[in-house]
Each structure stands twice: as C-alpha cells, then as structure tokens.
C-alpha cells in the first residue's frame, strides 16, 4: 500500500471515529441536546444554511476579503523583508518592528481598525494584512539568514549588486521558508478575518463570521457547528488541494524539502 494511500485511510478512519464518538456522547446525554447537537442535526443545519440561509454567498464574501488582504500582506512582507537584506539600518529597525507587531493579537487591533477605517470591508482587510505580514516577514527573514555565504560570494563574484543578490540569490534560496510563511500567514489571516466578522456583526459585509454570530444569537448551536465544519473543510481544501500540491510539485520535486 502506498504511503499516501495509507495516510489517507488513517485520516478517514479517524474522522469516522470522531463522528461515532460524537454521536455516542449525544446519545448518552452528557450535555443538554440544545448545546450538543447530534451529527444528523448538524448535517440538517448545514443543508438548511446552504439552501435557505445564504451561507455560500457569505463564505464567498469572506474568501474575497481574505484574498485581498493576503495579496497585500504577502507582497508587503516580501518587499520589506528584501529591503532588510540590502540595508543594515533598515534590517535592525524592521526586525524590531516584526518582533513587536507579531506579538499583538489581531483582536486587540479591532478598536483601532474601527476608529481608522470604520466598520466594514476595509477594517477586515486591515486585520487580514496584520495577521499575515508579520509571520511571513519572520519566515522570509529567517530564510534569507539561512542562505549560505558561499551563494552570496558567487553572486558578488559574477557582478550582482544588492538588487541582483535579492532576486538572484536570496529569494530563490529562501523560497521554502517564504512558502512556509505564506501557509502560516494564511491560517492566521483566516482566523483573524472570522474573528473580526464575528465582532463587527451585521455592520460589516456579511461573511461566515457573521453567520456564526447570528446562529449563536438564535441559539442554533447546530448551525454554529455547521459553520465551523465549513471553516474546517475550506482549510483542508486549501491545505491539501493547494499548498500540498504546490509543495510536492516544486520544493519536494527539486529536493529543497523532504
């Protein structure tokens, strides 16, 4: 049996075991049914959310804002991190900024976002940018610092200047770390976006975070779990359908990672 097939079967068995355990706990009435819905209740809530409660447009709205914030955050992180290897003064300042800003949870900046940008899409995009730019900058800078000095000496010997070293040596050599930063940044951005939508409620463009808040307000706990299930599925699709595919066809194929 192939390694990938075996891993897939193990994952399927684990998911099935979780569902069975969930249903057993429901039947044992460990928690009130209102707070702990059955697997069938969650399935029915998911169908209702998709067919009559507009969950799909809300998910698409959230993904649109996520992609906009990710694009800005990734480009900004690469540019600023690249500048940090061309100037020692800028490197010292930017490393300090990254160290400080990466410690600030996105939720703590929501009041600032509201005051600066109001309640709406701009504030949510701001939260996404904050969530992605700092961890990605940290990974990118770590990747640059891990570039062997030999590569830099070769680049200088063939006449590469600062910009040439960035594009010809640093960025290609640090690609695995940059990609790892994108993966971490997207996960943090996804969490930050949903948190912001939940806090903003109906004042912002309606996304999946608002759907969760709305279902909680109406004591529809099955609907809340249905939305959480959608979040998990989206994360799994992006992780296994996009990131893993890119990783297998590039870095692992080129021998840059295991």
Residue spans of the domains in the chain: they are: 55-249
In whole angstroms, give the CA distance from residue 70 to residue 125. Answer: 8
Domain 55-249 has CATH 3.10.20.30: no
User: What is the structure's pLDDT at 153?
Assistant: 81
Q: What is the predicted pLDDT for the residue at 149?
A: 81
What's the CA gap between 254 and 257, in Å, rounded? 8
Q: How far apart are alpha carbons 190 and 183 in whole angstroms?
A: 11
Predicted pLDDT at 7: 79
- 255: which residues sit within 8 A by CB, 6+ positions away? none
Q: Counting Cβ atoms within 10 Å, is residue 52 exposed (0-12), middle (13-18) or buried (19+)?
A: exposed
- The two structure tokens encoding residue 121: 């899409």
Pick left, alpha or beta for residue 257 (phi over 0 → left; psi -120 to 50 → alpha; otherwise beta): beta
pTM, to two decimals: 0.83
Task: Take residue 129 and report the two structure tokens written for it.
Answer: 């940018």
At residue 11, the pLDDT reads 85
DSSP structural state of residue 1: -
Compute the radius of gyration of the chain from its Cα atoms. Answer: 22
Burial class, 178, CB count within 10 angstroms (exposed 0-12 / middle 13-18 / buried 19+): buried
Helices (H) and strands (E) in the chain, counts: 13, 0
Tell me the pLDDT of the chain (258 aa) as tens digits: 577 788 778 888 999 999 999 999 888 888 888 888 999 999 999 999 888 888 898 899 889 999 999 999 999 999 999 898 888 889 899 999 999 998 888 888 888 888 888 877 888 899 899 999 999 999 999 888 888 888 778 878 887 777 788 888 888 888 888 888 888 888 888 888 888 888 876 555 578 888 888 888 888 899 999 999 999 999 889 888 888 888 777 766 555 555
């Amino acid at each position: 049996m192939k390694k990938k097939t075996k891993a897939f079967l193990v994952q399927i068995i684990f998911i099935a075991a979780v569902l069975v355990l969930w249903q057993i706990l429901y039947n044992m009435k460990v928690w009130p049914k209102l707070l702990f819905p059955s697997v069938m209740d969650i399935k029915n809530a998911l169908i209702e959310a998709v067919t009559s409660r507009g969950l799909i447009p809300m998910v698409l709205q959230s993904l649109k804002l996520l992609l906009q914030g990710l694009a800005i955050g990734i480009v900004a992180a690469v540019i600023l991190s690249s500048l940090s290897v061309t100037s020692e003064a800028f490197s010292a300042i930017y490393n300090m900024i990254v160290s400080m800003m990466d410690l600030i949870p996105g939720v703590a900046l929501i009041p600032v976002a509201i005051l600066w940008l109001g309640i709406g899409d701009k504030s949510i995009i701001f939260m996404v940018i904050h969530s992605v730019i700092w961890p990605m900058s940290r990974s990118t800078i770590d990747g640059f610092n891990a570039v062997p000095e030999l590569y830099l000496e070769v680049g200088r010997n063939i006449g590469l200047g600062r910009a040439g070293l960035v594009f010809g040596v640093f960025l290609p050599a640090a690609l695995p770390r940059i990609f790892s930063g994108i993966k971490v940044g997207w996960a943090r951005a996804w969490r930050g976006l949903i948190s912001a939508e939940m806090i903003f409620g109906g004042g912002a463009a309606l996304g999946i975070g608002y759907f969760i808040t709305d279902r909680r307000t109406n004591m529809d706990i099955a609907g809340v779990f249905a939305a959480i299930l959608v979040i998990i599925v989206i994360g799994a699709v992006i992780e296994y359908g996009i990131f893993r595919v890119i990783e297998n066809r590039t870095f692992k194929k080129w021998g840059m990672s295991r």
